[in-house]
Amino acid sequence: MLVFGTQIHIVTFIFILLETWMLIFQFFYYLFRPDDKSRLWYLFLLILLLFYNVTGGLFPDPKLNLTIQTQEMIAYGSGFLMASYFPFYFYKAFDLKPLRWHALFGVPLFLITPYIIFFIVVYTIYGNLNTSLKYGMIVPFIYALVLLWVMFSAIRKKHGKNRNDKKYLEEIMMYFAISPWAALAVFGFVEESQLVEVLVTNTGIIAISFLFMWKSIKSTREEHSRLLKFSQTGITPQMLEDNARIYGLTKTEIEIVHFLSSGMNNRTIAETLFISEETVKKHIYNAFRKTSVKNRQALLYLLRKKHT
C-alpha cells in the first residue's frame, strides 16, 4: 500500500513519522544540553536514517522532476551514507576502540570510494545501473562482513567483565543493533521489496534507540542521586563548579569532579559519559595537576572549601 500517490510504502511512512518525532524531541533536548555528545551522534544517526527511508521510498519515480539516473544515485548514496556512519557511531557512542581505524580510514576506502567510482563515475558514463551493482558492491559487501566481525568482537571484548557478572542486556542489544547493518550491503545484490528492506534496516535503529534511551535514563538517575548527596552534605553543585573554575578546570573535568563527589568510580563515570576509563583517568590527572593535589580526597576537599 503506497501513500499520497508516491512510491513510499505505508510502513516506510510510519517509520518516517516516528523517526521525525524522535528527531524533533531529541533535538530540543540537545539544545538544553549541548555538551551531550552522545545525543549529538544519535541525532546524526536519525537524520541519516530519515534520509535513507525517504529517498529509498520515493526513488525511482518517473513522475518526479529528476532523472532516474540522479534518483538512483541519491537512493544508493543514502544507503552508503548510513552504512558509513554506523561504525563511527558505535566507535564514539559505545567507545569501541577497535573500530577507530575502520571509522576513520576503512569506511572511506572500502565504502565511500567504491560508491563514487561505480555509482557516480561509471554510472554517469555508461548509464547502466546493473553494471554498477555487479562490480560496485563486491568490495563493500566483503568489507561489510569483515567489519561486522570486528564489531562483534569489539562488543564481546568490551563486555567480557559484565558478562561474567551476568549483565547481558546491553551486549545483546548491541548485537541486535548491528546485525541489520550488514543487510545494507546485501540489498545491493538482491532485489527486495521496500517493505522487507525498511523493516530489516530500521530494526537495528530500534535497538540502538532502546540502548540510547536506557543509557540516558541511567545517567539521569545517577545525576539525581548525585544532587541528593550534595543536598545532604550542604555543598551545592554550583559551589563545586565555581571553585573548579577558579583553578581552570574544563567542562568535562568539572563534570567528572561532580561524579567523583557523588562517590562514582572510574568505570561508572566512563559508562555515563560514553568514554573510556583511560580518558576518565586522564581528566582526573589533569584536575590534580591544575589544583596541585595528589589524590581524589584532597581534590574534593579543596573544591568544597569556600573561597573568599
Distances from the Cα of 257 to the Cα of 234, 287, 296, angstroms: 16, 8, 9
CA atoms within 13 A on the CB side of 235: 19
**Residue 54, number of CB atoms within 10 A of its CB:** 20
**Residue 282, number of CB atoms within 10 A of its CB:** 15
Residue 3 falls within a domain, yes or no?
no
Tell which of 219, 248, 273 closes a domain: 219
Confidence of residue 47 (pLDDT cuts 50, 70, 90): very high
268/128 same-domain check? no
pLDDT at 184: 66
Residue 26 falls within a domain, yes or no?
yes
130/26 same-domain check? yes
The amino acid present at 17, given as its one-letter code, is: L
Please give the residue range of the domain that contains residue 243.
Answer: 235-304
The amino acid present at 127, given as its one-letter code, is: G
Record the cell numbers describing residue 187, joined without a space.
Answer: 540489498
Find the CATH number of the domain harbouring 265: 1.10.10.10
282/155 same-domain check? no
117/239 same-domain check? no
Rounded to an integer, what distance in angstroms lies between the CA atom of residue 77 and that of residue 134? 16
277/129 same-domain check? no
21/169 same-domain check? yes
CB–CB of 297/253 below 8 Å?
A: no
Indicate the range of 1-15, 115-129, 187-201 predicted with least confidence: 187-201
Indicate the range of 18-22, 80-84, 207-211, 303-307 predicted with least confidence: 303-307
Structural domain count of the chain? 2
Percent of the chain with pLDDT over 70: 85
| pLDDT tens by residue, 279-304 | 889 999 999 999 888 888 888 888 87
Confidence of residue 308 (pLDDT cuts 50, 70, 90): very low
138/242 same-domain check? no
Rounded to an integer, what distance in angstroms lies between the CA atom of residue 288 and that of residue 294? 6
